[in-house]
Amino acid sequence: MRKIAIKDIRKPDYFYTEAIKTLRTNIQLSGKSIKTIMVSSCFPNEGKSDIVLSIAQELSSIGKKALIIDGDIRKSDFAIRLGVEEEVVGLSQFLSGQAEVKDLIYSTSYPNLHIIFGGPIAPNPSGLLSEDLFRTFMKEIRNYYDYIIVDTPPIGSVIDAAVIARYCDGGIFVIEPGVVSYKLAQKCIKQLEKSGCRILGAVMNKVDTKKDKYYSSYYKHYGGYYQKLATSEQTEKTQ
Ligand SMILES: Nc1ncnc2c1ncn2[C@@H]1O[C@H](COP(=O)(O)OP(=O)(O)OP(=O)(O)O)[C@@H](O)[C@H]1O
Ligand SMILES: [Mg+2]
């Protein structure tokens, strides 16, 4: 396995860090059978990839063996996000038969944290993800990790997240307040649930506690980020 140096250039934020810890605890409390977790949202830019990275870092920091899979093979940006300069092999190359599993997984500068990059943009991402190869891979890889966190494209735009959801034990739905209506969030969550994936909860991300009195009174303890507990119904109360 190749080792790769990664850099998280985000500025540490106390409240964000505390909220991620709460999210991690809630993931652990979701049950032993929840190992592979996909993260999606209705729209682009709601903060999915950021949350994938934060959860995986947090889990690995407490000694859990964690793997990030960049399942957004339409717009894979983990290598750029993490300041990786060398060329890396990614999921799209594996799914299209151009790489083997042994070339795919990178250990990182963080102890216990491994990563699979998305690879070059494939012409038919949902087709590749629907292949038996991906199903078999997901079934096999879970035996080597405590948690696998899978980044996906927004479910409101493309079907890939629903395809990935088929092979995951649970899902986390990211919501940027003011961007997504309650009705649309419910529709997207239902679509993921139809794939047989249990939605563990919703994360309300990018909450500006200074600007928004509603959130500042309710969620002041969570800084710019708020994590709902467990059920998709709970998203209703946050809209
Ligand atoms: N809690 C937060 N507070 C402020 N900014 C945030 C927060 N989370 C993410 N961002 C910013 O929002 C932008 C989008 O984040 P990110 O790339 O994680 O979203 P995404 O949902 O993965 O987008 P895409 O659907 O395009 O892949 C980034 O510039 C990121 O730094
Ligand atoms: Mg992303």
Residue type, 6: I
CB atoms within 10 A of CB 165: 26
Residue type, 63: G
Question: pLDDT tens digits for 120-171?
Answer: 998 899 999 999 999 999 999 999 999 999 999 999 889 999 999 999 999 9
Decide: 194 and 161 in contact? Cβ < 8 Å.
no
Please give the Cα distance from 87 to 196 (Å, whole number): 35
Between 230 and 147, residue with greater pLDDT: 147
Q: Taking the domains of the chain in order of start, what are their residue ranges? A: 2-238
Report the nearest-CA residue for atom 14 of ligand 1.
45
Q: What is the mean pLDDT of residues 210-228?
A: 44
- Ligand 1, from 17, 18, 49, 68: best to mutate by most atoms within 8 Å of Cβ? 49
Question: pLDDT tens digits for 168-180?
Answer: 999 999 999 889 9
Cβ neighbours of residue 183 under 8 Å, at least 6 residues apart?
Answer: none
pTM of the model: 0.90
Report the nearest-CA residue for atom 9 of ligand 1.
47
Radius of gyration from C-alpha coordinates of the chain: 17
Decide: 168 and 67 in contact? Cβ < 8 Å.
no
Say how many Å lie between the first and final Cα of the chain, rounded: 45
Does 3 have pLDDT greater than 90?
yes
Decide: 24 and 54 in contact? Cβ < 8 Å.
no
CB atoms within 10 A of CB 208: 12
Question: pLDDT tens digits for 162-214?
Answer: 999 999 999 999 999 889 999 999 999 999 999 999 999 999 998 876 665 54
- Ligand 1 site residues (CB inside 6 A) read 41, 44-50, 72, 75, 154, 205-206, 224-225
2-238: in CATH 3.40.50.300 = yes
